[in-house]
Amino acid sequence: MLLVVEQFLNGLQFGLLLFLLAAGLTLVFGIMDLVNLAHGSLYMMGAYFAATFAAWTGSFLLGALMALGATLVLGIVLEMTALRHLYGRDHLDHVLATFGLILFFNEAVRLIWGPAGLALPLPAWLTVPVPILPGIHYPAYRLAIIVVALLVALLLYLGVMRTRIGMLIRAGASNREMIGALGINIKLLYTLVFGLGAALAGLAGLMQAPILTVQIGMGENILILAFVIIVIGGIGSIRGAFLAAIFVGMIDTLGRAFLPNLLRQVLSGAAASTAAPALSSMLIYLLMAIVLVVRPEGLFPANRR
Amino acid sequence: MKAFTVSKAVTALMLAGLVLLPLYSQLSGNIFILTLFTRIVILALAAASLNLIMGFGGMMSFGHAAYLGIGGYAVGMLAQEGVGSGFIQFPVALAASATYALVIGALSLRTRGVYFIMITLAFAQMAYYVASGLARYGGDDGLTVYKRSDFSGLINLSNRTQFYYLCLACLFAVIVLIWRIANSRFGLVLQGLRSNEQRMQAIGFPAKRYQLVCFVISGTMCGLAGALLANNTDFVSPAVMYWTRSGDLMVMVILGGMGTLFGPVMGAVVFLLLEEFLSQITEYWALIMGPLLLLIVLFGRGGIMGLLGRLNRG
């Protein structure tokens, strides 16, 4: 029981984290039609910034806030210098150009921070276990991630659904040319959306940093997961990204936790223990393949024509 | 068609260089260059196979490195189990790649555009995790191939020069095959599908079937590259299938010129030499390579072949 609740919450926490990453990716994808592989690099930069700033200021929260600002600025600079010129080009060009950016960021990080990873220590008040149910404790920090991510998701939802900028973003996702024709400053909107996406990726990175070590290439595996999510959810759809992110987070976490035991009931011990890690890593890709075969446009396509 | 163009001259020069390289290596005593170029030729073969689906078929596969791994693991696993004959290893490597291509092609081709890029990527990642889970065959750490494929005295793969020429012969054979395919009725239908799938379907061509066949041919060719690569490095590991590898292959194709016959070879030579050269100057070679890629995408449309073509027009 304890294990189930704990793993369930872990899955939720991981899913929400993935949502932060996927939300920015799906916005950029849906609105600017840009495939940004370097989104994972922004996630990595968020973690590195947080670790550095937290060490400077001696405060976790202050460091996190500064890192958030720094990734926002980095995203805006990146958009204005490089990615802006890729809009309207072939998707293949996007893949290649942003692949180049990944190489650049990984190498830049190695140059600045060195090849060894960094650690981002948590303040004492976030390390205590919190009782969530009678007899069941859960780490405060993971709980904090869930709360912050849910809050951000809510703000994002309200921002996109209830504000003027959100309306423009939605309009942009469904018909790019039209909002330009209506006299909206698309350039500014694009820069803004990209910055927002970068900040969300940075937030995901800095929140994940204390759980994992901050290291080069940390953005790449999770980037592919984020892509899986937006493809499952339907490109450009925030709602789809949210549901798919929770789903993927749960499946991945629960699969890793319980699949070995399940397999052991069907297979012999040795076979199960070799098959289980591979199979649980494959689960989400399998899920994506199934979704794409059944619904090639994802579960919640944004711009249904 | 003009008799002489800059791109033809450069291509001929490059091919002559590839053929004469072992001679140079022998004369100068530089063994390293032969090893380097064996790798280049093998990866050029992989890039050429990717070009068949990307350039001629219009299918943007982001999971092509999976075949490198499948071909390599076929050789490595058979060697581990005591089957050392290349007459068994290579056909098995090709058959395994073809089967994989058939299955994932049939599924992936239901989607298009970005979704196709992503689903091929997802399948390659799955293959990567399967290989990582093969505890009997090294798992994450990879599998050492203690003995290269044995072609019972016909050709000795442990001899550097012979192995190099085998790889080069495979590369040339594949390019000739691609040339024949591209100019056949089959290839013309494929190129028609690339430009306008709906129209081709309206004429009455079963689009998916054509694309699937092309996808399988390409995968099989890349499986050959994988089998050669495992022999070259005497080692195969899941890292061969990692998604950045697929990215590298794509870069080679685009850099050289997508949809041209010799572009991918040129791209592989330039990309890998550049990597080698930059990594000798500075440990942080990717710091230069990354922005360089960005610039090539932004300003160098059509890759090296496109550039040479423009030179010719003046």
- To which H or E segment does residue B144 belong? strand B143-144
- What would be the CATH architecture of the domain defined by A7-122+139-294? Orthogonal Bundle (1.10)
pLDDT, tens only, B56-94: 988 989 999 999 999 999 999 999 988 888 899 999 999
Residues of B in contact with A89 (CB under 8 A): 297
A positions 18-57 inside 8 Å of B (CB): 29, 35
Q: Using the predicted structure, report yes or no on whether residue A229 has a pLDDT greater than 50.
A: yes
Whole-number average pLDDT of chain B: 89
Is pLDDT larger for residue A22 or for residue A275? A22
Residues of B in contact with A102 (CB under 8 A): 244, 290
pLDDT of residue A175: 77
The count of CB pairs under 8 A between chains A and B is 135
Of B150, B11, B148, B125, which Cα lies nearest the Cα of B69?
B125
Distance CA B189, CA B195 (A): 10
Q: Average pLDDT, stretch B132-150?
A: 85
CA angle A243, A246, A252 (to 5 degrees): 135
pLDDT of residue A135: 75
Question: Residue A227 — very low, low, confident or very high, per pLDDT cuts 50/70/90?
Answer: confident
- How far apart, in Å, are the Cα atoms of A260 and each of A57, A162, A277, B267? 43, 45, 8, 44
Distance CA A205, CA A199 (A): 10
CB B254 within 8 A of CB B267: yes
Is pLDDT larger for residue B195 or for residue A293? B195
Is pLDDT larger for residue A265 or for residue A203? A203
C-alpha Rg value of chain A to the nearest Å: 20
The percentage of chain B sitting over the pLDDT mark of 90, rounded to a whole number, equals 50
Partner residue facing A278 (CB), from B114, B130, B290? B130
Distance CA B294, CA A79 (A): 13
pLDDT of residue A305: 38
pLDDT of residue A43: 95
Q: Using the predicted structure, report yes or no on whether residue A7 has a pLDDT greater than 70.
A: yes
Of B247, B255, B249, which Cα lies nearest the Cα of B292?
B255
Highest-scoring range by mean pLDDT, A46-50, B134-138, B300-304: A46-50
Chain A: residue whose CA lies nearest to B103? A289
Q: Average pLDDT, stretch A175-180?
A: 80
Distance CA A22, CA A39 (A): 9
Question: Residue B100 — very low, low, confident or very high, per pLDDT cuts 50/70/90?
Answer: very high
Distance CA B137, CA B73 (A): 9
Q: Average pLDDT, stretch B152-167?
A: 89
Chain B: residue whose CA lies nearest to A85? B298
- To which H or E segment does residue A139 belong? strand A136-139
Residues of A in contact with B119 (CB under 8 A): 231, 288-289, 292
Q: How many CB atoms lie within 10 A of CB A14?
A: 24
**Residue given tokens 């699949």 in the structure block:** A259
Q: Using the predicted structure, report yes or no on whether residue B148 has a pLDDT greater than 50.
A: yes
Q: Indicate yes or no: CB of B121 within 8 angstroms of CB of A99.
A: no
Of B220, B230, B243, B216, which Cα lies nearest the Cα of B126?
B243
The percentage of chain A sitting over the pLDDT mark of 70, rounded to a whole number, equals 97
pLDDT, tens only, B224-271: 999 999 999 999 999 999 888 998 899 899 888 888 999 999 999 999
| ipTM, interface predicted TM-score of the complex | 0.79
Partner residue facing A104 (CB), from B134, B135, B286? B286
pLDDT of residue A302: 62
CB A231 within 8 A of CB A27: no
pLDDT of residue A304: 46
